[in-house]
Amino acid sequence: MPIANGIRSKSTRLIWLVVLFVFLQVVHLPLRAEGPALLIDGQPVLGQVSDIASDWTVTITGKESRKIATSELVRWGYRVEVGKGPQVILADGSVIVADILDLNGETVKVGIDFNRFADASLWEDAIVPLHSIRGIVFRPPGDAAARDKLYYRLIDRQGSEDHLLLRTGDVVAGVLTTSVKNDAAGVEPNIAIKPAGQQEPISIPLGKVAAVSVNPSLVRVSRRTSSSVCIGFRDGSCINVQKIETVDGVVRLSLVGGADLRVDCSTFYSELCFVQPWTDRVEYLSDLKPIFYKHIPFLELPWEQQIDRDVSGNRQRYEDRVANKGIGMHSSSSLAYDLLGKYRRFDAELAIDESAGNQGSVRYRVILYKRGGDKSTAYQSEIVRGGDAPIPISLDLTDALRMVLIVDFADRGDQLDHANWLDARLIKAK
Q: At which of 218, 241, 274 does a domain end?
A: 218
Give the pLDDT confidence score for residue 63 in this predicted structure: 86
Residues 292 and 405 in one domain: yes
- Of 216, 212, 222, 218, the residue nearest 100 (C-alpha): 212
pLDDT at residue 13, as a whole number: 45
Q: Are residues 181 and 123 in the same domain?
A: yes
Tell me the C-alpha distance between 348 and 38, whole Å.
12
| Domain annotation covers residue 152 | no
In a domain, 227, yes or no: no
Residues 210 and 319 in one domain: no
Sign of CA dihedral 272, 144, 351, 286: negative
Q: What is the pLDDT of residue 33?
A: 52
Domain identity same for 116 and 183: yes
Q: Are 230 and 238 in contact (CB under 8 A)?
A: yes
Select from 132, 85, 125 the least CA-distant residue to 102.
125
Judgement on whether residues 191 and 293 belong to the same structural domain of the protein: no
Q: Which of 360, 350, 354, 376 is nearest to 409 (CA)?
A: 360
User: Does any domain span residue 254?
Assistant: no
Residue 116 counted as domain residue: yes
Looking at the structure, tell me whether residues 319 and 371 fall in a common domain.
Answer: yes
**10: in domain:** no
Residue 266 exposure: Cα atoms within 13 Å on the Cβ side: 3
Q: Give residues with Cβ within 8 angstroms of 348, minimum separation 6.
A: 326, 392, 393, 421, 422, 423, 424, 425
Longest dimension (CA), the chain: 87
Domain that holds residue 57: 35-77
Co-location of 384 and 358 in the same domain: yes
What's the pLDDT score for residue 83?
83
For residue 59, which amino acid is it? Answer: T
Question: Residues 409, 346: one domain?
Answer: yes
CATH assignment at residue 49: 2.30.30
State the total domains in the chain. 3
Residues 393 and 366 in one domain: yes
Q: What is the pLDDT along the chain (430 residues), one digit of tens a residue?
A: 332 333 334 444 444 444 334 333 433 333 445 578 999 998 889 999 999 999 999 999 988 899 999 999 999 999 998 888 899 999 999 999 999 888 888 899 998 765 554 455 789 999 999 999 999 999 899 999 999 999 999 999 999 999 999 999 999 999 988 666 555 555 678 899 999 889 899 999 988 999 999 999 999 988 888 889 999 999 999 999 999 999 999 999 999 988 999 999 999 999 999 999 999 999 999 999 999 999 998 887 899 999 999 999 999 999 989 999 999 999 999 999 999 999 999 999 999 999 998 999 999 999 999 988 899 999 999 999 999 999 999 999 999 999 999 999 998 888 999 999 999 999 998 7
The β-bridge relationship of strands 133-137 and 171-176 is: unpaired
Tell whether 420 and 313 lie within a shared domain: yes
Whole-model pTM: value is 0.88
